[in-house]
Amino acid sequence: MGFDPVGAGLVASLNNPSGNATGMTPISVVLGQKRLEMLRDISPKASVVAILVNPLSPDAIPEIGSVQAGSQSLGLQLAMFNASTVNGIDAAFAAIGGQKPDAVFVGNDPFFLNKRADIVARGADLKIPEKP
């Protein structure tokens, strides 16, 4: 289980890895921009997107770069929020609620996957409406 096998030098490319490397990767670096495009498809009127990232994740900086590139090409404004603990998730969502974004993008991190029920509940509490 790894984050970016190409960036870590474990494989030559995702299309042609070669060698004897096996495992899986969430390939968040490659998919960050695509996930943001999908968010825009779901909420086409969104202009401000909150992004929740785990600053302790080794994949945070590359994923943020990918999402920032996507936000620029889509004309979206990003508001960054960090969380690496359960209390951090609560604090981040309290801050997100104060900013009133049009959508929330949750970074691809194993910690967030494990806390997905809490994150979904906190996101539902925001009651982010679609702009008219």
For residues 36-58, one letter each, b for 16 or more C-beta atoms within 10 angstroms of the residue's C-beta and e for the rest, the string is beebbeeeeebeebbbbbbeebe
42 near 34, Cβ under 8 Å? no
Q: Is residue 50 part of a domain?
A: yes
Q: Is residue 5 part of a domain?
A: no
Residue bearing tokens 């620029």: 72
Q: Is residue 6 part of a domain?
A: no
Q: Which range among 19-23, 45-49, 58-62 shows the weakest confidence by mean pLDDT?
A: 19-23
Q: Is residue 41 part of a domain?
A: yes
Per-residue pLDDT for 99 more than 60?
yes
Count of domains observed in the chain: 1
What is the average per-residue pLDDT within 100-127?
92
89 near 118, Cβ under 8 Å? yes
Kindly report the pTM of this predicted structure: 0.77
Q: Is residue 56 part of a domain?
A: yes
What is the average per-residue pLDDT within 1-25?
68
Q: Residue 96 belongs to what domain range?
A: 28-126
